[in-house]
């Protein structure tokens, strides 16, 4: 089972059980003391059983949103003035996995220190038998009320998304004549149809049956165009909780999350009176294409450790108008406190309508960078070889930048090109390596050398 500030994830029935869900909910209850909490989920079959265990452990008033995107559940925490919440999801992990994202009272995921305390407390009570834990639960205040708010929460989320667009922009969206496909893959992103149609946006939809997964959960290269006489401009795919958006263009090339973040960053900064006074916040695995785009407007630039909450908190500190994680297609726009795949898609459509250009044309107008990423299996923790890797690059004349602690990002930079390492906190024994450069050969060389160092 993976336990990190990104949440809890494991294979349901093996690493992750209903008993573990009960303990984590009880730990959340004892540490955060919610009087009212929101619970929502993606579409995995194990979600309902975990929901029952979590509600038993929380022992407070419950707002149950049912199946909704992560961003909609997080919005519900704010809308219903709850004290926090839990999203039952393993996000981009495959269907046999499930997990939890614990939410703070502002709808954001718990801050790293609070999540660390939650994990430690859950481990502490792990020695208790189920009977002993249930006995302790019985001594606390029982659940007062469970309110089913799925339809209302979706309605509020739709209204929240619509608030990002002016009347003129909504008119542009209605008039957009772009043939594109939305593929939620049976995940929580099936709600995108309701939201897009509410804005008058026309699209084709595939894989809309709830809980029926026809491709990999993490979209990427598993996105496919359906057989048709006319090929659409692109396919937009979501992961299971729809916090990530990935797009495949009609030449079968993937639109990088960095391109998506760069386009939306430019649109936001172009609409601000004094963009030079603003700061764009990204994770340290984001391509410099976003930095160069922000630089056109003399905007500030700050990198933080990978993790949605790290970007969110830095955006709050800097009062940033836009931020995100280019490495995973996640754009964050205040007052939202999370990545939102559906909102990101609509923002792209707005830019297409405004500029009267296809998505491919918009991407081609961006500065050219070659961004390559791979996952490699680890035989031992990256922390054990981190210093060796770091010293190699220092000896080779690279500048070293690090975020977080010894488990955070390690980036080696030279001549506006870089290679980056970080052990995944959502996938077991996986090291992520990314290279970024204006020169394709340089990016490929950096990635190859990085893989050799850790093999």
Which structural domain, as residue segments, surrounds residue 427?
370-454
Tell me the CATH number at 29.
Answer: 3.40.120.10
Residues 6 and 115 in one domain: yes
Residues 31 and 143 in one domain: yes
**Helices assigned H by DSSP within 125-237:** 130-139, 150-162, 167-175, 192-198
Residues 221 and 339 in one domain: no
341, 364, 387: which is the final residue of a domain?
364
Residues 135 and 23 in one domain: yes
The partner residues of 279 in beta bridges, in order of sequence, read 300
213, 234, 253: which is the final residue of a domain?
253
Q: What pLDDT does residue 424 have?
A: 87
Does the structure show a pLDDT above 70 at 80?
Answer: yes
CB atoms within 10 A of CB 216: 16
Q: Are 430 and 423 in contact (CB under 8 A)?
A: yes
Residues 136 and 13 in one domain: yes
Residues 41 and 133 in one domain: yes
Residues 141 and 58 in one domain: yes
- Exposure b/e, 399-414, CB count within 10 A at least 16 = b: eeeebbeeebbbbbbe
Residues 6 and 127 in one domain: yes
pLDDT in tens, 381-407: 899 999 999 999 999 999 999 998 888
Tell me the CATH number at 403.
Answer: 3.30.310.50
Name the catalytic one among 46, 91, 256, 320.
91
Q: What is the number of structural domains in the chain?
A: 4
Q: Which of 288-292, 322-326, 343-347, 426-430 is least confident?
A: 426-430
Does the structure show a pLDDT above 70 at 138?
Answer: no
Does the structure show a pLDDT above 80 at 228?
Answer: no
pTM score: 0.94
Residues 137 and 205 in one domain: no
Residues 26 and 140 in one domain: yes
CA 313 – CA 332 distance, rounded (Å): 11
**Cα diameter, the chain:** 65
Residues 243 and 261 in one domain: no
**Helices assigned H by DSSP within 80-220:** 112-124, 130-139, 150-162, 167-175, 192-198
Residues 188 and 306 in one domain: no
pLDDT in tens, 85-130: 999 999 989 999 999 999 999 999 999 999 999 999 999 888 777 6
Q: Are 58 and 34 in contact (CB under 8 A)?
A: yes
pLDDT in tens, 286-329: 999 999 999 999 999 999 999 999 999 999 999 999 999 998 87
115, 149, 183: which is the final residue of a domain?
149
- Establish whether 171 is a catalytic residue: no
């Amino acid at each position: 089972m993976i336990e990190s500030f990104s949440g809890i994830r494991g294979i349901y029935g093996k690493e992750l059980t209903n008993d573990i869900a009960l303990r984590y909910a009880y730990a959340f209850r004892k540490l955060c003391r919610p009087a009212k909490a929101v619970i929502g989920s993606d579409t995995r079959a194990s979600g309902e059983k975990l929901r029952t265990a979590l509600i038993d452990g929380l022992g407070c008033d419950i707002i149950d949103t049912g199946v909704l995107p992560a961003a909609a559940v997080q919005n519900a925490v704010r809308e219903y003035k709850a004290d926090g919440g839990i999203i039952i999801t393993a996000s981009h992990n495959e269907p046999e996995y499930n997990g939890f994202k614990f939410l703070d009272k502002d709808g954001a995921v718990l801050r790293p220190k609070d999540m660390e305390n939650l994990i430690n407390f859950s481990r502490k009570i792990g020695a208790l038998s189920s009977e002993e834990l249930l006995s302790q639960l019985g001594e606390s205040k029982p659940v007062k009320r469970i309110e089913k708010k799925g339809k209302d929460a979706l309605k509020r989320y739709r209204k929240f998304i619509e608030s990002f667009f002016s009347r003129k922009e909504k008119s542009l969206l209605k008039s957009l004549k772009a043939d594109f496909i939305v593929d939620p893959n049976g995940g929580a992103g099936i709600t995108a149809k309701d939201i897009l149609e509410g804005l008058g946006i026309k699209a084709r939809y595939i894989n809309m049956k709830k809980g029926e997964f026809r491709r990999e959960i993490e979209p990427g290269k598993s996105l496919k165009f359906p057989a048709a006489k006319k090929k659409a401009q692109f396919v937009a795919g979501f992961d299971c909780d729809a916090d990530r958006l990935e797009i495949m263009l009609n030449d079968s090339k993937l639109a990088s999350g960095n391109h998506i973040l760069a386009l939306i960053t430019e649109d936001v900064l172009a609409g601000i009176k004094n963009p030079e006074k603003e700061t764009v916040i990204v994770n340290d695995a984001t391509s410099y294409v976003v930095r160069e785009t922000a630089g056109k407007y003399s905007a500030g630039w700050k990198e933080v450790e990978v993790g949605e909450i790290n970007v969110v908190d830095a955006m709050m500190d800097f009062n940033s108008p836009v931020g995100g994680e280019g490495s995973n297609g996640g754009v964050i726009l205040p007052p939202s406190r999370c990545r939102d795949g559906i909102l990101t898609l609509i923002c792209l459509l707005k830019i297409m309508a405004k500029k009267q250009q296809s998505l491919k044309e918009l991407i081609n107008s961006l500065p050219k960078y070659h961004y390559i990423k791979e996952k490699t299996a680890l035989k031992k923790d990256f922390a054990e070889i981190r210093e060796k890797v770091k010293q190699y690059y220092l000896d080779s004349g690279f500048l070293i930048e690090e975020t977080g602690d010894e488990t955070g990002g390690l980036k080696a930079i030279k001549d506006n090109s870089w290679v980056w390492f970080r052990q995944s906190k959502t996938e077991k024994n996986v090291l992520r390596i990314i290279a970024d450069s204006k020169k394709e050969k340089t990016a490929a060389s950096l990635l190859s050398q990085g893989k050799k160092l850790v093999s």
